[in-house]
Amino acid sequence: MITGISYSQNSQNDSVEIDYKKIYSYGLDGDVRSGLSLLEFIDVNKLTAKDLKFKTDFENRFKYTNDESDFLESHKSSISELLEIYHKYWRTALLDNSKNYDTLIKKNVADFLTEKYPQAPGFKVNEDSIDVYVKKYIESFGLHTTGFGKTGKYFDLLVWGLEKDTTYTFLLHKEKTSVEVVFMDDFVTFGWEEYATLGRYYPGGWSTKKALYCVKKAYDLKSENFLIGYLAHESRHFEDYKIFPKLMSADLEYRAKLTELSMQQKTLHKSIEFFINNSNYESENGHSVANYCVIRDLSKVLFKIEFEKDINKWKEISIKQINKTAYDLLKANTKSLIKQGADVEKFIKK
């Protein structure tokens, strides 16, 4: 499904009473219940109107027996019945980390297709077959989708209405790269990450072995956020698929994030802070593992410690030095992977 992914986000101001960064971090790591616990004992009388709305909306979505939010109503479309199945799965899985609900979502989607899509009855219930028929079903409504597969540790549903192709040619460090970029618009659903963070975070784009896919509304196409945070990041994935075709998510993300940090200027500290706040070496989410390993390895070189989490310390280091260190780590990682051969699957976490 999505083999590489860049995050996008809506704006959100800081708050004195609510730790938004921690709550969103828990959400992206599939641990919504811990996010709920941070809201439990907050004095509502101290909250601003914005904070109170967030607390109310988050608790309406996750605190009670049923989802009391307007998520399904606000995402109504021709595939609403299918989205309802995913919605139930996402909510259950995000609130209960003690179990794996993969078998249940496979069965429920397969049963739905058998009932609702005439061409599907009799197909084998496995991920490849479900993927084929999910795409056929959604495409029958004139929509596009990534199909049946996972973003991180959960099966996802990303669906959009419009596509426009273009080609970008640029330098990725000293390497000339040309990639097809498919700009997507008119989204029906951005998937479980949008759901877990109340729309704050969602996939801003991803890469496949054939092209890059970009959420058009997520970027100013002249900004560093697009040219490096998206284009350079995803192009690193695109090139790595050719050189290391079996490399797993965490390692792919590690290399793409180092690519970002080796080139960024205006957005460098923002990226570092995001990686710090969303790092978890023990996570099943490749992004969270890669975030940890990037900060770990940079910290060892720049600060001579295991993991520097104080963003103010990072701001004392010159941008040029951070760029160079990130690039040196990327080159060293490339050399190590090449030594292991084209079949290498993982390196940063054994």
pLDDT tens digits, 189-228? 999 999 999 999 999 999 999 999 999 999 999 999 999 9
Residue 1 pLDDT grade (very low, low, confident, very high; cuts 50, 70, 90): very low
Phi, psi at 98, each rounded to 5°: -80, -15
Q: Summarize the confidence of residues 10-22 as an average pLDDT.
A: 77
- Per-residue pLDDT tens digits for 59-73: 999 999 999 999 999
Q: What's the whole-number mean pLDDT along residues 324-347? A: 97
| pLDDT tens string 144-186 | 999 999 998 999 999 999 999 999 998 888 888 899 999 999 9
Of 216, 240, 264, which residue sits at a domain end?
Answer: 240
144 & 8 share domain: yes
Quote the CA–CA distance of 132 and 160 in Å, as a whole number.
17
d(Cα 161, Cα 247) in Å, to the nearest integer?
A: 31
State what percent of residues in the chain have pLDDT above 90.
85
Q: Does residue 8 register a pLDDT over 90?
A: no
Beginning with the edge strand found earlier in the chain, give each strand of the sheet holding 212-215 in spatial order. 4-9, 201-207, 212-215, 175-189, 159-172, 144-145
Q: What is residue 7's predicted lDDT score, i.e. its pLDDT?
A: 62
Query: What pLDDT does 171 receive?
Result: 85
Domain assignment of residue 254, given as a range: 244-340
Domain count across the chain: 2
Q: What is the mean pLDDT of the chain?
A: 93
Residue 14 pLDDT grade (very low, low, confident, very high; cuts 50, 70, 90): low
How far is the C-alpha of 132 from the C-alpha of 119, rounded, in Å? Answer: 11
Separation of alpha carbons 19 and 24, rounded Å: 9
Residue the block writes with tokens 């701001």: 315
- What is the structure's pLDDT at 124? 74
pLDDT of residue 347: 95
Q: 111 pLDDT exceeds 60?
A: yes
Q: Which of 240, 256, 276 is the last residue of a domain?
A: 240
Q: Considering the domain boundaries, does residue 345 fall inside one?
A: no
Q: What is the DSSP string of 268-301?
A: HHHHHHHHHHT--TT-SSHHHHHHHHHHHHHHHH
The answer on 186 and 86 residing in a single domain is yes
Is the pLDDT score of 3 beyond 50? no
118 in the same domain as 30: yes
On whether the CB atoms of residues 62 and 94 are closer than 8 A, the answer is yes
pLDDT digits (tens, 9 = 90+) for 275-327: 999 999 999 899 999 999 999 999 999 999 999 999 999 999 999 999 999 99
CA distance 205 to 160: 12
Residues 223 and 76 in one domain: yes
Same domain for 122 and 254, yes or no, is no
Q: pLDDT-based confidence at 329, cuts 50/70/90?
A: very high
Query: What percentage of the chain has pLDDT greater than the value 70?
Result: 96
H or E segment at 338? helix 319-340
pLDDT at 10 exceeding the cut of 60: no
Within a domain: 346: no
Average pLDDT over residues 256-260: 98
My answer on whether 251 and 235 are in the same domain is: no
